[in-house]
Amino acid sequence: MLIQEIIRRKRDGQTLDRQMLDLVMRGIADDTVGDAQIGAFAMAVYLNGMHEAEATALTEAIRDSGQVLSWDDLDLAGPVLDKHSTGGVGDLVSLVLGPWIAACGGHVPMISGRGLGHTGGTLDKLESIPGYDITPSEATFRRLVQEVGVAIIGQTGALAPADKRLYGVRDVTATVESLPLIVASILGKKLACGLGSLVMDVKVGSGAFMPTPEASRELAEAIVATGCAAGTRTSVLLTDMNQPLARCAGNALEVAAALEVLRGDDRHSRLYRVTQALASEMLIQSGLARDAQDAERRLAQTLDNGAALERFGRMVHGLGGPADFTQRAAHYLPTAPVVHEVAAPRDGVVHAIDTRALGLAVVELGGGRRNAGDAIDPRVGLSHIAELGQTLSAGEPLLRVHAADREAAEALSARLSDAFHLEAGAADIPPLVHATLRQEDLP
C-alpha cells in the first residue's frame, strides 16, 4: 500500500490497522518515508486522533521498528522492570529508584533522555560524574543489568528508531501535543527494552509537561490503557510538580541529592516520599513485594544495610566512573565558583511557586540547552529552594544560585524572586501523590 494512501485514510478520519502503521514506521526508520510525509501523517493524527486499539497498534509499531531487547537468555534472578517520568524540575527520582529497585531484587534496564525545555535530563545529571559513559556497548549494558541489577544509559540508534525521526518532525510541525503520538513515543521506547512491568510518573502542576491537571489525568489513563494492551503491566502515579521535587535543580547538585537519599540520610523530604511511592508500586506490580507494607520494609532495609548505595556505586564504576565515587562524591562532582543568595522581598508564607520559571533559570545559567547542540555546565543550578508553606522573613533566602560568574547570578535574581508568591496565612499544599492508576481503575 502506498504511504500517501495511508496518510489519506488518516486525513479523512479513518482508522489505520497494524499493518498500515508498521509500513509507515518501518519507512520512517529506514528513511524511505520522507519528512514531508512524516509531517502529514503527524498532522492527520493530531487533527483526527486515534481509537484505543489504533493507538496501541501505533505504539507496537514504534516499538518494533528496531531492536526489541530480550533477557530470556540471561536467566535473570528477578523481574525486568522500569519507571519513566514526564519530567519536572528537581526530579532526580531515576538516579535513586534504579539502584534502590536493583537492591530489592529487580533488574532495571533504564534508557533515559536529556533535558527537554525547562525539565532536567537524567543523562545530563549522570554526565556530571567523571568518566560516566551513557553509550556503552550492548554487552556492557546487558552485563550490568544482569550482575548489578541496573544500568542507566542513553537511547541507542537500534531501539525504536522510528520515534527519533517522528519526534523531530513533530517538534517543527506543531504536532507535539497529540495524545496518541505522545503515548506512542513514551511507550514505544520503553517497551522496546523488554520490560515485564512499567510504572509511569506523570507530573501535575506548574512545572508539569501537561498544561492542566485534566490533561495530565488524560495522559495517565491513555498510558495505562495502551501499555497494558501492548502486553506490559503498566500503572501510573500522578505526582505533584507545583514546586521542585528536590530542594535543588542542576546536574551535579541533583547527583549529590540522590546520594543523600541512597545513604539513608534523607527519609522525610518530598523527593524521598515520591521515590518511595514509585518504588513501592514497582515492587508490588512486579511481584517482588506482597503489599505496600512489605514493599516499604524491603526498601528501608536496603537503605539501612547500604545495598542501594552500593548498587549505584557499582553501576557508576561499571560505566566508566570512579570506583570510589559514592565515598568521595564531593571530590569528583564539579562545583560552581559563585553561590549567590536571592532574598525574600518581604515577610510571608510561600503560597505558590512558578516551577517552570525555576527550571528555565537553570537552563539560562547553562545547566540545560537552548539549542540541541549546546554544551551543559554541570556545576550550575539552584539549591536550598524554599518550599510551599514555608514561612520567611524579609531578607531570608528564597534560594541559592550556583553560577559560573556573579553577573549571571545577579541577572536572574529579580526573576527568581518573582517566581515565589508570598502572602500571609497558611498555604494550601497539594498532595504529593494525586492518584495511582492501574488497569482496573480505568473508566
Report the alpha-carbon distance of residue 216 to residue 233 in Å, rounded.
20
Active site residue 185: yes
Grid cell 502506498 is found at: 2
Residue 25's closest CA among 50, 1, 3, 46? Answer: 3
Report the alpha-carbon distance of residue 180 to residue 45 in Å, rounded.
8
**Cell numbers describing residue 53:** 486499539
Report the alpha-carbon distance of residue 323 to residue 241 in Å, rounded.
34
- 3-state SS assignment for residue 148: coil
DSSP secondary structure letter of residue 119: B
Instruction: Considering the candidates 10, 56, 63, 82, report the single residue annotated as catalytic.
Output: 82
Instruction: Considering the candidates 63, 165, 189, 314, report the single residue annotated as catalytic.
Output: 189
Report the alpha-carbon distance of residue 236 to residue 199 in Å, rounded.
6
Active site residue 30: no
Active site residue 83: yes
Report the alpha-carbon distance of residue 299 to residue 302 in Å, rounded.
5
Active site residue 10: no
The residues that bridge with 80 in the sheet, in sequence order, are: 107
Instruction: Considering the candidates 10, 84, 118, 314, report the single residue annotated as catalytic.
Output: 84
Identify residue 110 by its one-letter amino acid code: M
Instruction: Considering the candidates 22, 56, 63, 83, report the single residue annotated as catalytic.
Output: 83
Instruction: Considering the candidates 170, 233, 247, 400, report the single residue annotated as catalytic.
Output: 170
Task: Give the strand pairing for 233-240 and 433-437.
Answer: antiparallel
Grid cell 487533527 is found at: 47
Instruction: Considering the candidates 156, 185, 216, 239, report the single residue annotated as catalytic.
Output: 185
Active site residue 82: yes
Instruction: Considering the candidates 10, 118, 190, 317, report the single residue annotated as catalytic.
Output: 190
Instruction: Considering the candidates 85, 175, 239, 275, report the single residue annotated as catalytic.
Output: 85
Instruction: Considering the candidates 86, 119, 122, 280, report the single residue annotated as catalytic.
Output: 122
Report the alpha-carbon distance of residue 228 to residue 403 in Å, rounded.
44
Active site residue 286: no
Helix axes 35-48, 179-191, angle to 10 degrees: 120
Contacts of 412 (CB under 8 A, 6+ apart): 361, 364, 365, 401
Active site residue 137: no
Residue 406's closest CA among 311, 316, 337? Answer: 337
Catalytically annotated residues: 82-85, 122, 170, 185, 189-190
